């Protein structure tokens, strides 16, 4: 199998979007949001009420141009795609009228719920089946949040670490490819790292070295 990022489609936060020419510009963080996108990707209208909560930051000034271009090409975006890459970095979601709203955009406006282990597992089973049946995509890659200890406390952020652990276990159970960036960086660099070393504000990368490590890991998974 030849390694080719151009045959992969990415949905997640802004962290890994630069690696993939085919991506969904808004920031989605949970399985529920990603399922809603996969079911409605070709019906997105920017004038829909609460659209910036449904597809987080879709009308943000830094994103809207890419969002408009995505909508124009929505009927063909999954052409020649053989792998769906999803980043899952939250188990919180707001369900409003059966539509998942991003907790990332919430700021207390809506009531959030927390997805359980079984919720996430069932959603990944559904996503795997959905992309096979709807897009003929047979490969699914899950990337978790970056979980590393904080400098001041030398402790992990509990919710973040638990989500990474749950995702790793679920993906093992379901035979889904999985990358845990925190573990990966520590192994590759052969040193103890703190979260702030990798994500200085705990959210964004500032060093392209980590993007290279992720790319190399994807290549190892899919080139043989």
What pLDDT, on the 0 to 100 scale, is given for residue 2?
Answer: 52
Is pTM beyond 0.85 here? yes
Reported as a single tens digit per residue, the pLDDT across 17-42 is 999 999 999 999 999 999 999 999 99
5-222 is a CATH 3.30.70 domain: no
Left (φ > 0), alpha (ψ -120 to 50) or beta: where does 2 sit? beta
| pLDDT at residue 1 greater than cutoff 50 | no
Report d(CA 195, CA 157) in Å as an integer.
10
Specify whether the CB–CB gap between 95 and 32 falls below 8 A: yes
Q: What is the pLDDT of residues 178-192, one digit of tens each?
A: 999 999 999 999 889
CA distance linking residue 200 with residue 190, whole number of Å = 20
Task: Give residue 110's pLDDT band: very low, low, confident or very high (50, 70, 90).
Answer: confident
Confidence of residue 3 (pLDDT cuts 50, 70, 90): low
Token code pair at residue 83 = 């792998």
Instruction: Output the average pLDDT for the chain.
Output: 94
> Of 169, 159, 175, 181, which Cα lies nearest the Cα of 118?
169
pLDDT at 4: 74
Confidence of residue 91 (pLDDT cuts 50, 70, 90): very high
What is the C-alpha to C-alpha distance for residues 68 and 16, in angstroms, rounded to an integer?
20
Domain boundaries, the chain: 5-222
């890994």: which residue's tokens? 16
Residues 59/116, Cβ–Cβ less than 8 Å: no
| Lowest-pLDDT range of 4-13, 81-90, 134-143 | 4-13
């Amino acid at each position: 199998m030849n390694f080719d990022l151009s045959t992969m489609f990415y949905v997640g936060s802004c962290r890994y979007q630069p690696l993939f020419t085919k991506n969904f510009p808004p920031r989605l963080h949970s399985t529920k949001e990603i399922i809603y996108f996969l079911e409605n990707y070709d019906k997105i209208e920017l004038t829909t009420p609460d659209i910036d909560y449904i597809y987080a930051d879709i009308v943000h000034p830094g994103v809207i141009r890419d969002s408009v271009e995505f909508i124009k090409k929505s009927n063909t975006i999954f052409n020649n795609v053989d792998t769906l890459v999803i980043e899952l970095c939250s188990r919180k979601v707001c369900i409003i009228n059966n539509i998942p709203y991003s907790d990332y955009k919430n700021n207390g406006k809506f009531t959030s719920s927390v997805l359980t282990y079984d919720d996430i597992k069932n959603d990944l089973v559904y996503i795997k089946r959905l992309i096979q049946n709807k897009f003929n995509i047979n490969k699914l890659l899950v990337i978790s949040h970056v979980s590393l200890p904080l400098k001041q406390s030398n402790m992990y952020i509990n919710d973040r670490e638990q989500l990474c652990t749950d995702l790793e276990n679920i993906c093992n159970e379901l035979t889904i490819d999985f990358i845990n960036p925190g573990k990966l960086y520590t192994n590759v660099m052969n040193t103890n790292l703190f979260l702030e070393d990798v994500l200085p504000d705990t959210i964004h990368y500032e060093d392209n070295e980590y993007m290279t490590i992720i790319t190399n890991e994807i290549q190892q998974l899919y080139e043989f």
